[in-house]
Amino acid sequence: MASHAKINSAEELKKTVDHHTALRAADDRVTLTVSAGTCGQARGSLDVIASLENAIQEKGLQEKVRVKVTGCHGFCEAEPNIIIQPQDLFYQHVTTKDAEAIIQETVLKDQAVETLLYKDPVNGQTASKESEIPFYTKQNRLVLGDNALIDPTDIREYFSIGGYLSLAKSLSDMTPEDVIETITASGLRGRGGAGFPTGKKWDFTRKSKGDVKYIICNADEGDPGAYMDRSLLEGNPHRMLEGMIIGGYAIGASEGYVYIREEYPLALKNITRAVEQAHEAGLLGENILGSGFSFNVKVYKGAGAFVCGEETALMQSIEGKVGVPRQRPPFPAVKGLWKKPTNINNVETWANVPLILDRGSDWYAQIGTESSKGTKIFSLVGKINNTGLVEVPMGITLREIIYDIGGGIPDGREFKAVQTGGPSGGCLPKEKLDLPIDYQSLMQAGSIMGSGGMIVMDDKTCMVDVAKYFLNFLRDESCGKCLSCREGTQRMWEIVRNITEGQGKEGDLVLLETLAHAVKDASMCGLGQTAANPVLSTLRYFNDEYLAHIKDKKCPAGVCKDLVEYFIIPDKCTGCMVCARVCPQDAITGEKQQVHILDQEKCIKCGACYEACKFDAILVE
Amino acid sequence: MHNDPSEFEAIIERHSSEKQYLIPILQDIQSQFNYLPPVALATVSKQLDIPMIDIISVASFYNAFSLTPRGEHVVTVCMGTACHVRGGPKILEEFERRLKVPAGGTTENKQFTLETVACLGCCAIGPVVVVDGDYYAQQTIGKVESVLKKYASKEKNNGKPREN
């Protein structure tokens, strides 16, 4: 039973929270907390949970030990991982085979299972606690941290960490104007991309004329490489929901929508359940906590269109239409969903709201920089040792994120670029590593904060190929309304594709830049206006690489198929025959313990031999 | 082949015949039938009083909908940025070679449909492939054959995601 009977007043809610907080404190069982978000499940955490439960049952330890299933803790590289309390141990890469040892050694004897402890990929040092792991030490996990504390499918778990107290405080002690003032004073800015001041946006919608108003949670996290919103909705859906209800009260809205992309089945399931539980507990519906304020939330599943992350397109989609953006003004605050005043924020923004109400705007405004307050969650992915979600104060440098938290580049390779802001963002080179991260500095450097994707690239990543990748994405996702975006992204893609195929001409780069500016200037919505960023930023920082493709017909990173060939390095080839076996073309011949030969005529450059060779004997250039 | 309008009327009834429910209705039809049969579109058009051309424009705009029947198993290869820099395109090419269909295609025996997705948000464990809802982490060219084999021989793992 994860539901809770109706709570009728702020006073009753406080009692409920006290009750569950006390239960949590009094629980002296050994707790095995397993991270089981989508990534964890993909790596087998559900099987690990089952085997832990089996082992507990076999030993008759049900009264003394419990398995707690939570959402993602952010350290995706270490999945499936387990935190064990009170021993305060962190185990990584746990498999079903480890269950027995965990119970036998750690639970029964208080001893660590050495093989499961974290080992630093850089210096090889072992860490037994989460707090000793460099990935965690530089973070400030104000929003994401609770994911590790609660079972997201049970509202009582959220109560046990003070859940919905900020809502109670808003409804009983504050006027809607007070709430807006607090959010404004905190300096919170939208975490979805553009970084518009949240309090200001709420104020516009509150002051807009109209008896019916809506609020929307934009959970259409479409930027490839960003998944913090998925993690928040999977791991702590009530927190986002609490933020929304507070927002509804502040703005004077009676109905809210969560627009979530269909590619996130677990997040969809957990937020849907959270809405149901909040209804049963009287935190949604009529006369919430006896305050006279009524508010309902509907969950709306997207149908797979990147442009629907744009607010006006998203609202078209909720209305059952093709998701095509429309001209602004009028802004949604004046004329939004069903032509009514509408306030739209993304998941991470909403999830910051309860925190600000709880700890106060002064406290919040101390974190971060002058213009960018609070923390931001980034997804640190790509060619990086510690992949995962990292939450850091604004103003931290790229170098700190990539090297101190991320542990640098794997396999001793060299850092080349970091891509931020998704398809609207740009690629920053190593000269920009000491850039403090905030909305302004990233924009000045030719990229954007965006929703927080941070894709690290090494010397084996071709920047022209990356530009081609984003252009291909954008030409596909352009809704087609503006000619500049529809045709412009297509033409830019064709030019860059030609360059990667060795068909680049002198003058292409000038043409590309001219086109990029035209697309930027003449398109109506954010998608088109920023579509040129991946091209412009790579042209700005990696011009030499474009020239190598055009003039020398070479891909220095060894990525662009038409410009590379595969070779076997005789000195390194041991004649193990592995490459010959995996080659789908039978292009590799050779006897056992003899240097193999690769027939260029037959080779289709699929990369199977490169992947299979354990001796680095395949050269791509 | 799904020519009975009553099947679709039942789905429409679960929502309402208001125009705003067009997308959720189409989503339910898609998930039940794995595509949008022509009779379904005609039924929806009639019941919701939306011209066929508008229905087709919605059905062809969103990636979730398919106007042609899909295969028994749907293989989805993630094309997100993180998967891309870790070799996602090479994984897709290997699936294309093994299944002998381009991305978006369905094999002749209707066993597999090969699709791509912009990003699954599992960036840390890329390249990622999903087959019928089961996630496969850190895929390599070499692992493609064994993933396909699991489904070609119809051995399902009870819908549980598993590491590969």
CATH classification of the domain holding A517: 1.20.1440.230
A212/A285 same-domain check: yes
Residue-wise pLDDT tens digits, A126-140 = 999 999 999 999 999
Instruction: Provide the residue range defining the domain that includes A255.
Output: 162-364
A382/A272 same-domain check: no
State whether residue A499 is helix, strand or coil.
Answer: helix
Cα A101 to its chain centre, rounded Å, is 33
Report the pLDDT averaged over residues B12-26: 93
Question: Is A154 contained in some domain?
Answer: no
Report d(CA A370, CA A135) in Å as an integer: 26
Question: Is A1 contained in some domain?
Answer: no
A105/A205 same-domain check: no
CATH 1.20.120.50 fits B73-152, yes or no: no
Q: Is the pLDDT of residue A16 over 90?
A: yes
Partners of A321 on chain B (C-beta within 8 Å) are 22, 58
State whether residue B129 is helix, strand or coil.
Answer: strand
Report d(CA A426, CA A470) in Å as an integer: 10
A479/A603 same-domain check: no
CATH assignment at residue A264: 3.40.50.11540
Residue of chain B nearest A303, judged by CA positions: B64
Residue-wise pLDDT tens digits, A574-607 = 999 999 999 999 999 999 999 999 999 999 999 9
CB–CB contact A301 B24 (8 Å): yes
Question: Is A524 contained in some domain?
Answer: yes
* Domain residue ranges of chain B, discontinuous segments joined by +: 5-61, 73-152
B39-56 burial: b if 16+ Cβ within 10 Å, else e: ebbebbbebbebeeebbe
* Residue A110 to residues A62, A513, B47, Cα–Cα distance (Å): 17, 63, 65
Residue-wise pLDDT tens digits, B90-113 = 999 999 999 999 999 999 999 999
Average pLDDT, chain A: 95
Residue A397 CB: number of other CB atoms within 10 A? Answer: 17
Report d(CA A167, CA A353) in Å as an integer: 10
Confidence band of B155 (pLDDT split at 50, 70, 90): very low
A525/A442 same-domain check: no
The bridge status of strand A588-589 relative to strand A426-429 is unpaired
Partners of B120 on chain A (C-beta within 8 Å) are 38, 263
Residue-wise pLDDT tens digits, A500-539 = 999 999 899 999 999 999 999 999 999 999 999 999 999 9
CB–CB contact B123 A303 (8 Å): no
Interface-testing mutation among A43, A461, A538, with chain B (most B C-beta atoms within 10 A): A43
Of B63, B81, B162, the CB nearest to A44: B162
pLDDT for residue B153? 64
Residues 35-54 on B with a CB inside 8 Å of A are none
CB–CB contact B97 A223 (8 Å): no
Residue A329 CB: number of other CB atoms within 10 A? Answer: 8
A180/A250 same-domain check: yes
Question: Is A120 contained in some domain?
Answer: yes
Q: Is the pLDDT of residue A306 over 90?
A: yes
pLDDT for residue A413? 94
Report d(CA A482, CA B31) in Å as an integer: 32
Question: Is A558 contained in some domain?
Answer: no
pLDDT for residue B159? 42
- Report yes or no: B58 at the A interface, CB cutoff 8 Å: yes
Report d(CA B43, CA B52) in Å as an integer: 10
CB-based contacts of A452: which residues, under 8 Å, 6+ apart?
A191, A226, A228, A348, A376, A377, A378, A379, A420
The bridge status of strand B112-117 relative to strand B73-78 is parallel
CA-based nearest distance A385→chain B, Å? 10
A176/A223 same-domain check: yes
CB–CB contact A382 B27 (8 Å): no
CA-based nearest distance A360→chain B, Å? 32
CATH assignment at residue A48: 3.40.30.10
A115, A148, A181 — which closes off a domain? A148
pLDDT for residue A183? 98
Cα B45 to its chain centre, rounded Å, is 23
pLDDT for residue B1? 66
Amino acid at A436: P
Confidence band of A124 (pLDDT split at 50, 70, 90): confident
The bridge status of strand A342-346 relative to strand A296-301 is unpaired
> What value of ipTM does the predicted structure carry?
0.90
CB–CB contact A305 B61 (8 Å): yes
Confidence band of B28 (pLDDT split at 50, 70, 90): very high
Report d(CA B109, CA A368) in Å as an integer: 58
A331/A280 same-domain check: yes
The structural domain count of chain A equals 5
CA-based nearest distance A28→chain B, Å? 32
A188/A315 same-domain check: yes
Partners of B143 on chain A (C-beta within 8 Å) are none
Question: Is A557 contained in some domain?
Answer: no
Of A42, A301, A419, the CB nearest to B161: A42
pLDDT for residue A216? 98
A174/A299 same-domain check: yes
A364, A398, A425 — which closes off a domain? A364
Report the pLDDT averaged over residues A318-343: 96
Of A319, A457, A608, the CB nearest to B85: A457
Question: Is A400 contained in some domain?
Answer: yes
For residue A224, give the nearest of B138, B122, B91 by alpha carbon. B122
Residue of chain A nearest B118, judged by CA positions: A224
CB–CB contact A382 B86 (8 Å): yes
Report d(CA A250, CA A241) in Å as an integer: 14
Maximum pairwise Cα distance, chain B: 51
Give the DSSP letter string of A324-393.
-----SSPTTTS-GGGS-EEEEEHHHHHHHHHHHHH-HHHHHTSB-SSSBSEEEEEEEES-SS-EEEEEE
CA-based nearest distance B61→chain A, Å? 7
Cα A387 to its chain centre, rounded Å, is 11
Question: Is A341 contained in some domain?
Answer: yes
CB–CB contact A39 B137 (8 Å): yes
Q: Is the pLDDT of residue B163 over 80?
A: no
A276/A419 same-domain check: no
Report the pLDDT averaged over residues A186-197: 93
Report the pLDDT averaged over residues A281-285: 98
The bridge status of strand A118-119 relative to strand A89-91 is unpaired
Residue of chain B nearest A607, judged by CA positions: B90
pLDDT for residue B152? 87
Q: Is the pLDDT of residue A398 over 80?
A: yes
A180/A231 same-domain check: yes
A336, A364, A392 — which closes off a domain? A364
Report d(CA A562, CA B65) in Å as an integer: 34
CB–CB contact B63 A43 (8 Å): no
Alpha helices in chain B (DSSP H): 5-14, 22-33, 38-48, 52-61, 81-85, 88-99, 144-152
Please say whether the beta carbons of B51 and B45 come within 8 A: yes
pLDDT for residue B157? 45
